[in-house]
């Protein structure tokens, strides 16, 4: 009987007794979810263009953030370091297209996936040899990102809103909206969808596969930079950041690998879900449920809707 | 074809023989000390300074004194990435070169090496980490954890809390890396909570969540502990301090263990982390003659891997250096007692049980006040060292307390019980008798 009470009654009693804390949890879930969406977006862009899960997206986050901090530490002003980092990500995109992807046109997806694993280890080695293994401080203030917090006292309690979190949410919304418009309303967006459907067919109608891939990898690089700045500001910039990117996998399973709105909704489901579950039900399972909760949700989706909420249902003839 | 094959086999045999001869020659005229380091991966922030401090001190002895007892020390690094499997691979690939001692710098790797040490006759020195129970020298002749175990450290932190408002009736929050390292002191904490009348709220942080601790700190806010203790490592530390500041937890009531208080972590936090406190057992800074010698003979001479001279004297750099001091002292004692210049792993084990890093000896080494005195012994493999607390002032660590001696009267019986439990299913385990 106790167990039923602890599962079905007590969490809601807690929510009712401390509504300010519930608001804090929901805000935290919203911020977390937005950041997950941002990470997932990088994966979606590349998956849409090449049908491959880009294993290197996590290390691209680290590489972009380290480049930014490294250039700033070399003496460049923050704004110039930011522009130069965007340039580096553009060069990386062109390099990946020229050296890796161009040779693999029309190869099975698994070959492209393996290539991204190879790229991951290359970037880890390159990053470590250039920047070293020590964590770096993100240049939050220098980039003009806000610090500090604002406290509210709803229901006689306390809710703390970090200004940096607000900036993260705004940045994510602007990026997601911008990219959604770019890829849905422009010729490049339509070309991208054609490339995703069939490389050879896209080539036959005159779409430059090389150009599309370079553009998409560059866009994923920009997303990686934004992700690196926001996550780096929350902790530090180190190679451990690449692990955070793994959280995108359940987001993609829920939202669908090819859908930008799916990445947003999936991220928010995970963000809200894991915070609420950890805080109100986590103690029943010994805490630390956040580490696996997202994957359980993803597994449930795989059972009932394997293509995700907004993914394309693929029917193949056998 | 057959001729080609035969030639290949002959060349390979010759190359193998040449390598073996070279290794034997190396073992015969040098002191081979492998360093299981991790300069890559998510924990490199701690691994890099430790490996630098360790290698630089031993190389300083080579440059300044011609080695130890006139024999050069060879430090060979093997990259583990803080991964237990890679750590064992490093161990297996280096043990045949005449390795004198292993310092795994990972509790996970240490746990793998503990059963191997008596078989290969090479001691393991897990300085301030690893399995706490190895402090019982009778049961673990080949493993050491000078200057104190995790359990000793935990009691020292609790003593500080007790002296600053009392423990009875208080709620202590324990946030930890959810791995062998972080779970290690939990049995002691649970036992002491019952005995001393406080409660414990635990907040595990998975390796994948190190930089994503929002939920843990929301739970901290919900549980409202009076004090927080952290067993963190790598990127977890900076994130935890930032999250604690975010929920306005008083940072002077947030105490990290000695792996959760480094310059590398806190530089990334800066002013925001002001007041955060951490344990330590080795000196901080460059104002020690021995550290100055390291700068003079190794760093300035371009023989160090350190990329920023200002980081000499950092907490973890000096921790690695202190580890090297203990190794060097044990080698010296082993040389004196055996009369041999080039010693073996067995001699090294004896050295580790007989060195005496007294205050006078520390002063002689140019490390006066660097750490509490440590005396090796057969029965006590943690040496009865002390812990002090330091506090982050926004830009550097400052000493907060005098050395705090752990609650040995409480810890020792628990360590002996834990040692017995470890050996319960190991009937052929080699123990020793200490008079």
Cis peptide before B110 (omega within 30 of 0): no
Closest residue in chain A to residue B176, using alpha carbons only: A288
Closest residue in chain B to residue A158, using alpha carbons only: B247
Verify whether the Cβ–Cβ distance B48 to A134 is below 8 Å: yes
* One domain for residues B188 and B265: yes
* One domain for residues B272 and B171: yes
Determine the 3-state secondary structure of B75 from DSSP. Answer: strand
- Label residue B15 by pLDDT band (50, 70, 90): low
* One domain for residues B174 and B268: yes
Closest residue in chain B to residue A231, using alpha carbons only: B211
pLDDT at residue A246 above 50? yes
**pLDDT at position A191:** 87
DSSP string, B264-276: HHHHTTGGGGTT-
* Proportion of chain A above pLDDT 90, given as a percent: 48
| CB-CB neighbors (< 8 A) of B202 in chain A | 287
Closest residue in chain B to residue A164, using alpha carbons only: B246
**pLDDT at position A47:** 87
* One domain for residues B292 and B240: no
More confident residue, B141 or A313: B141
**pLDDT at position A210:** 86
| CB-CB neighbors (< 8 A) of A247 in chain B | 208, 212
pTM (2 d.p.): 0.86
> Smallest CA–CA separation between B106 and chain A, in Å?
17
* One domain for residues B202 and B245: yes
Mutate to test the interface with A, among B82, B208, B214, B270 (most CBs of A within 10 A): B214
**B415 domain residue, yes or no:** no
Q: How many CB atoms lie within 10 A of CB B28?
A: 11
**A313 domain residue, yes or no:** no
Choose among B176, B305, B165, B300: nearest CA to B229.
B176
Write out the residue range of the structural domain in which residue A164 sits.
2-304
Average pLDDT over residues B118-136: 95
Q: Which of A124, A241, A279 sits opposite B222 (nearest CB)?
A: A279
**A176 domain residue, yes or no:** yes
* Proportion of chain B above pLDDT 90, given as a percent: 82
**B384 domain residue, yes or no:** no
CA distance A200 to A198: 6
Asked if A59 and A120 touch (Cβ cutoff 8 Å), the reply is: yes
Of the candidates B324, B356, B377, which is a domain's last residue? Answer: B377
Mutate to test the interface with A, among B211, B216, B222, B224 (most CBs of A within 10 A): B211
**B248 domain residue, yes or no:** yes
Token pair, residue B25, equals 């020659």
Verify whether the Cβ–Cβ distance B215 to A238 is below 8 Å: no
CA distance B267 to B280: 17
**pLDDT at position B16:** 52
**pLDDT at position B263:** 94
Write out the residue range of the structural domain in which residue B252 sits.
151-280+389-408
Closest residue in chain B to residue A288, using alpha carbons only: B204
**B364 domain residue, yes or no:** yes
CA distance B248 to B340: 59
Instruction: Look up the CATH number of the domain holding residue A94.
Output: 1.10.3470
* One domain for residues B137 and B156: no
pLDDT 10s digits, B258-299: 999 999 889 989 999 999 999 999 999 999 999 999 999 999
Verify whether the Cβ–Cβ distance A244 to B211 is below 8 Å: yes
| Strands B388-392, B277-280: pairing kind | antiparallel
Closest residue in chain B to residue A239, using alpha carbons only: B42
| CB-CB neighbors (< 8 A) of A136 in chain B | 268
Size of interface A-B (CB pairs under 8 A): 124
Verify whether the Cβ–Cβ distance A160 to B222 is below 8 Å: no
* One domain for residues B215 and B316: no
Verify whether the Cβ–Cβ distance B45 to A133 is below 8 Å: yes
Which of A17-21, B41-45, B385-389 has the weakest average pLDDT?
Answer: B41-45
Strand partners, B231: B176
> Smallest CA–CA separation between B175 and chain A, in Å?
11
Q: Which of B206, B211, B218 sits opposite A24 (nearest CB)?
A: B218
Mean pLDDT of chain B: 92
* One domain for residues B167 and B212: yes
> Smallest CA–CA separation between A135 and chain B, in Å?
6
Mean pLDDT of chain A: 89
Instruction: Look up the CATH number of the domain holding residue B160.
Output: 3.40.50.2300
| CB-CB neighbors (< 8 A) of A239 in chain B | 40-42, 44
Verify whether the Cβ–Cβ distance B42 to A243 is below 8 Å: yes
Verify whether the Cβ–Cβ distance A240 to B210 is below 8 Å: yes
Residue B157: Cβ-neighbour burial (10 angstroms; 0-12, 13-18, 19+): buried
Instruction: Say which residues have a Cβ less than 8 Å from residue A3's Cβ, sequence separation at least 6.
Output: A284
pLDDT 10s digits, B200-217: 999 999 888 888 898 999
Helix runs in B339-394, H state only: 345-354, 359-364
Determine the 3-state secondary structure of B255 from DSSP. Answer: strand
Q: Which of A160, A162, A236 sits opposite B268 (nearest CB)?
A: A236
- The ipTM value here is 0.84
Verify whether the Cβ–Cβ distance B39 to A133 is below 8 Å: yes
* One domain for residues B40 and B121: yes
pLDDT at residue B8 above 60? no
**A42 domain residue, yes or no:** yes
**pLDDT at position B253:** 98
**A149 domain residue, yes or no:** yes
| Strands A159-162, A149-152: pairing kind | antiparallel
pLDDT 10s digits, A250-262: 999 998 888 888 8
- Label residue B22 by pLDDT band (50, 70, 90): very low
- Label residue B11 by pLDDT band (50, 70, 90): low
**A317 domain residue, yes or no:** no
* One domain for residues B170 and B129: no
> Smallest CA–CA separation between B135 and chain A, in Å?
30
Closest residue in chain A to residue B245, using alpha carbons only: A148
| CB-CB neighbors (< 8 A) of A21 in chain B | 221-222
Query: What's the number of domains chain B is made of?
Result: 2
| Strands B227-231, B171-177: pairing kind | parallel
Query: What's the number of domains chain A is made of?
Result: 1
More confident residue, A124 or A84: A84
* One domain for residues B255 and B292: no
Token pair, residue A81, equals 């370091």
pLDDT 10s digits, B101-114: 999 999 899 999 99
* One domain for residues B290 and B301: yes
Q: Which of A32, A236, A288 sits opposite B214 (nearest CB)?
A: A32
Closest residue in chain B to residue A277, using alpha carbons only: B215
**B358 domain residue, yes or no:** yes
Q: Which of B45, B178, B221 sits opposite A238 (nearest CB)?
A: B45
Question: Which chain A residues touch B if contact means CB-CB below 8 Å?
Answer: 21, 24-25, 28, 31-32, 124, 128, 132-138, 149, 160, 162, 231, 234-241, 243-244, 246-247, 274-275, 278-279, 282, 287-288, 290-291
**pLDDT at position A101:** 86
**A101 domain residue, yes or no:** yes
**A311 domain residue, yes or no:** no
**A314 domain residue, yes or no:** no
Q: Which of A132, A137, A240 sits opposite B211 (nearest CB)?
A: A240
């Amino acid at each position: 009987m106790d167990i039923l009470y602890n599962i079905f009654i007590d969490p809601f009693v807690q929510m009712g007794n401390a509504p300010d804390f519930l608001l804090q949890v929901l805000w935290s879930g919203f911020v977390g979810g937005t950041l997950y969406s941002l990470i997932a977006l990088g994966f979606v862009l590349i998956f849409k263009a090449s049908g491959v899960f880009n294993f290197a997206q996590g290390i691209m986050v680290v590489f972009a953030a380290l480049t930014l901090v490294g250039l700033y530490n070399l003496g460049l002003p923050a704004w110039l370091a930011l522009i130069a980092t965007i340039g580096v990500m553009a060069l990386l995109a062109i390099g990946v297209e020229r050296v890796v992807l161009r040779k693999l046109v029309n190869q099975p997806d698994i070959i492209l996936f393996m290539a991204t694993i190879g790229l991951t280890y290359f970037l880890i080695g390159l990053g470590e040899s250039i920047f070293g293994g020590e964590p770096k401080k993100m240049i939050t203030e220098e980039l003009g990102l806000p610090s500090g917090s604002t406290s509210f006292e709803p229901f006689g309690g306390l809710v703390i809103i970090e200004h940096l979190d607000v900036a993260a949410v705004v940045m994510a919304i602007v990026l997601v909206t911008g990219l959604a418009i770019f890829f849905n309303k422009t010729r490049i967006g339509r070309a991208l969808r054609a490339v995703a459907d069939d490389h050879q067919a896209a080539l036959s109608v005159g779409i430059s596969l090389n150009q599309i891939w370079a553009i998409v990898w560059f866009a994923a690089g920009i997303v990686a930079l934004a992700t690196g700045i926001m996550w780096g500001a929350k902790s530090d910039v180190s190679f451990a950041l690449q692990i955070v990117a793994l959280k995108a996998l359940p987001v993609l399973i829920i939202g669908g690998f090819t859908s930008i709105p799916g990445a947003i909704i999936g991220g928010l489901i995970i963000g809200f879900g894991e915070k609420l579950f950890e805080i109100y039900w986590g103690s029943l399972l010994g805490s630390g449920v956040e580490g696996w909760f997202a994957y359980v949700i993803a597994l449930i989706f795989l059972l009932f809707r394997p293509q995700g909420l907004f993914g394309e249902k693929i029917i193949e003839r056998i | 074809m057959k001729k080609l094959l035969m030639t290949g086999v002959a060349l390979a045999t010759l190359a193998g023989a040449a390598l073996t001869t070279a290794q034997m020659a190396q073992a015969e005229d040098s002191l081979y000390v492998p360093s299981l380091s991790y300069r890559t991966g998510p924990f490199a922030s701690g691994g890099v300074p430790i490996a630098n401090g360790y290698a630089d001190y031993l190389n300083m002895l080579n440059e300044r004194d011609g080695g130890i007892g006139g024999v050069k020390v060879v430090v060979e690094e093997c990259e583990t990435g803080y991964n237990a499997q890679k750590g064992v691979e490093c161990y297996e690939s280096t043990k045949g070169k005449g390795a004198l001692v292993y310092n795994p710098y990972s509790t996970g790797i240490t746990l793998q090496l503990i059963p191997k040490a008596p078989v290969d006759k090479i001691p393991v020195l897990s300085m301030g980490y690893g399995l706490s129970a190895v402090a019982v020298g009778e049961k673990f002749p080949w493993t050491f954890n000078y200057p104190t175990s995790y359990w000793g450290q935990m009691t020292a932190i609790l003593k500080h809390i007790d002296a600053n408002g009392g423990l009875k009736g208080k709620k202590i929050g324990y946030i930890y890396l959810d791995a062998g390292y972080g779970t290690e002191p939990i049995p002691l904490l649970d036992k002491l909570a019952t005995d001393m009348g406080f409660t414990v709220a635990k907040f595990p942080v998975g390796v994948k969540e190190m930089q994503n601790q929002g939920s843990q700190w929301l739970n901290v806010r919900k549980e409202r502990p009076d004090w927080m203790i952290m067993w963190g490592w790598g990127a977890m530390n900076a994130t935890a301090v930032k999250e604690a500041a975010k929920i306005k937890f008083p940072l002077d009531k947030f105490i990290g263990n000695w792996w959760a208080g480094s310059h590398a972590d806190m530089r990334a936090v800066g002013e925001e982390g002001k007041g955060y406190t951490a344990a330590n057992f080795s000196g901080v800074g460059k104002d020690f003659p021995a550290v100055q010698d390291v700068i003079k003979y190794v760093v300035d001479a371009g023989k160090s891997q350190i990329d920023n001279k200002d980081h000499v004297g950092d907490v973890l750099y000096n921790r690695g250096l202190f580890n090297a001091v203990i190794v060097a002292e044990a080698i010296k004692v082993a040389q004196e007692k055996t009369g041999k210049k080039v010693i073996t792993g067995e001699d090294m084990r004896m050295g580790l049980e007989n060195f005496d890093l007294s205050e006078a000896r520390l002063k002689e080494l140019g490390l006066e006040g660097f750490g509490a005195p440590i005396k090796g012994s057969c029965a006590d493999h943690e040496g009865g060292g002390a812990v002090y607390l330091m506090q982050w002032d926004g830009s550097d660590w400052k000493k907060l307390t005098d050395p705090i001696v752990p609650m040995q009267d409480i810890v020792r019986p628990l360590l002996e019980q834990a040692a017995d439990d470890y050996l319960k299913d190991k009937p052929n385990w080699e123990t020793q008798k200490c008079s």
